Amino acid sequence: MELKHEFKNVWEEISKNGNMQEVLEYSKSYMDFLDKGKTERLSIKEIQRLATEKGYISLEEAMEKGNIKFGDKIYAINKDKAIALFLIGKNELEKGLKIVGGHIDSPRIDIKANPLYEEANLGFLKTHYYGGIKKYQWTTIPLAMHGVVILKDGKRVDICIGEDDSDPVFSITDLLVHLSADQMQKKLGEGISGESLNILIGHMPLEGEEKEAIEANILKLLNEKYEMTEEDFLSAEIQMVPAGKARDLGFDRSMILGYGHDDRVCSYAAVKSILDIDASDYTSVVLCVDKEEVGSQGNTGMQSRFFENTLAELIELEGNYSELKVRRSMANSKVLSADVSAGYDPNFADAYEKRNSAYMGRGLVLNKYTGVKGKAGCNDANAEFMAEVRRIFNKENVIWQTAELGKVDQGGGGTIAYILANYGAEVIDCGVSVLNMHAPYEIVSKADLYEMYKGYKAFLSVNL
């Protein structure tokens, strides 16, 4: 009698099945996406490109046609920071959707609205960190600058500095160990303050300037390249992220070290899966949203009405629109909330509960619930839906495991799962295990990546 799920080593299964080349090719394509999508805007731009190549048309184009039919491929973009892909199925939309939903924002350093200053012959930018970070991890590493600036005349300028080998990079300084007696006595979370995360951006004064000459030189360079003035910082979204590309990790190249695995690793798998399947009974949907790392609020987060409004437009294109159909569609939907899990790290074993942790190399991870301590703020998936997802994965030979987010009293976190569940949809968290989560450089297993892709494809296309 089988008493519990049998955990498998994905690498052993890959060797047995002879699909190693597929795994490596998938990993390579994901690393390319990661390098191109360092911010939510850049991620959406790349997802749109991939979808268009596969025959997807915009919602606006679909509205011009005036109707939708089985097999149609449609995408909708929300302010360049969120996207929804729809593969229209045979059933009416009010019968429900099969959704894989993730987020494409990641922890980072944002530039303040009035950032530029100089002190001690050095030029700096003031910042505000975005999302949950360990602040000390962001010092002394090379940083790249990405963003968009809307100039005073309304012209849009895109910024990218630090990714090309010929580009300069930027950095946040830290106190030298020789003078760190007081700093080293502080708690780890207090060693670097938020207001000290200032970006070092220059040192050379502008010839002929007597006051704030370094600041003047920086502004001169920005104006020459981007037509920016200091006032234009007020209408800019500029982000600092780790410079450089994702890299193979380990002698065996079995892992990927890179910025933004949380949660672009799941979002890419979701996008790739819907682009690689055919239409089926239920409409398949992939949803990639912004602002999850800060609570999913705002007009580009999951708490906005973007997805609901887009669904309403599609039901209108079906004919015989009603608000009731929109509500039924949401309530009848089934969702994989695509987000990562904390990978068990033996170097910090005290933070985990071994029997209920996610392990690298054991495949896709199902989290029945997340939340903090007493499940606060979580979505707790119903047993019936958990069983349905199990059956789909087992039927399609997807290797999977279950996990929780560390020990009960150690901390916790949440995802977008509860927001979709608020509409009545069946939702469960489903992703891969990650080491160094929320650090500038995170780690994932190539074997797990491929199982996640297989799992999302199975969920979207298989009906029990």
Per residue in 288-339, pLDDT (tens digit) is 999 999 999 999 999 999 999 999 999 999 998 999 999 999 999 999 999 9
Question: Alpha-carbon distance 100 to 301, whole Å?
Answer: 16
Question: Alpha-carbon distance 191 to 186, whole Å?
Answer: 6
Q: Which helix (H) or strand (E) holds 385?
A: helix 383-395
Q: How far is CA 403 from the centre of its chain?
A: 20
Question: Alpha-carbon distance 460 to 333, whole Å?
Answer: 12
Nearest to 57 by CA among 76, 41, 42: 76
With contact defined as beta carbons under 8 Å apart, do 62 and 72 qualify?
yes
What is the number of residues in the chain?
Answer: 464
Average pLDDT over residues 53-69: 96
Average pLDDT over residues 86-102: 97
Average pLDDT over residues 66-76: 96
Nearest to 128 by CA among 219, 193, 81, 202: 193
Q: What is the pTM for the complete model shown?
A: 0.95
With contact defined as beta carbons under 8 Å apart, do 44 and 104 qualify?
yes
Sequence-ordered list of residues with C-beta below 8 angstroms from that of 153, at least 6 positions apart, any chain: none
Sequence-ordered list of residues with C-beta below 8 angstroms from that of 168, at least 6 positions apart, any chain: 161, 162
Phi, psi at 59, each rounded to 5°: -60, -40
Question: Alpha-carbon distance 300 to 219, whole Å?
Answer: 31
Question: Alpha-carbon distance 200 to 127, whole Å?
Answer: 11
Question: Alpha-carbon distance 49 to 463, whole Å?
Answer: 29
CA dihedral 440, 445, 449, 455 (to 10 degrees): -120
Question: Alpha-carbon distance 375 to 152, whole Å?
Answer: 48
With contact defined as beta carbons under 8 Å apart, do 162 and 144 qualify?
yes
Could you count the other beta carbons within 10 Å of the beta carbon of residue 189? 10
* pLDDT > 70 fraction of the chain, expressed in percent and rounded: 98
Q: Which helix (H) or strand (E) holds 212?
A: none
What integer pLDDT is reported at residue 4 of this predicted model?
A: 55
Q: What pLDDT digit, counting tens, does each position of 246-291 carry?
A: 999 999 999 999 999 998 999 999 999 999 999 999 999 999 999 9
Sequence-ordered list of residues with C-beta below 8 angstroms from that of 285, at least 6 positions apart, any chain: 84, 85, 86, 87, 97, 98, 99, 100, 101, 274
- Locus of tokens 């020789």: 178
Nearest to 85 by CA among 268, 266, 275: 275
Cis peptide before 263 (omega within 30 of 0): yes
b or e along 194-211 (b: 16 or more beta carbons within 10 Å of the residue's beta carbon)?
eeebbbebbeebeeeeee
- Going from the N-terminus, what domains does the chain have, and what CATH number goes with each? 10-106+259-461 (3.40.630.10), 108-242 (2.30.250.10)
What integer pLDDT is reported at residue 409 of this predicted model?
A: 87
What integer pLDDT is reported at residue 1 of this predicted model?
A: 40
Name the amino acid, one letter, at 456.
Answer: Y
What integer pLDDT is reported at residue 386 of this predicted model?
A: 96
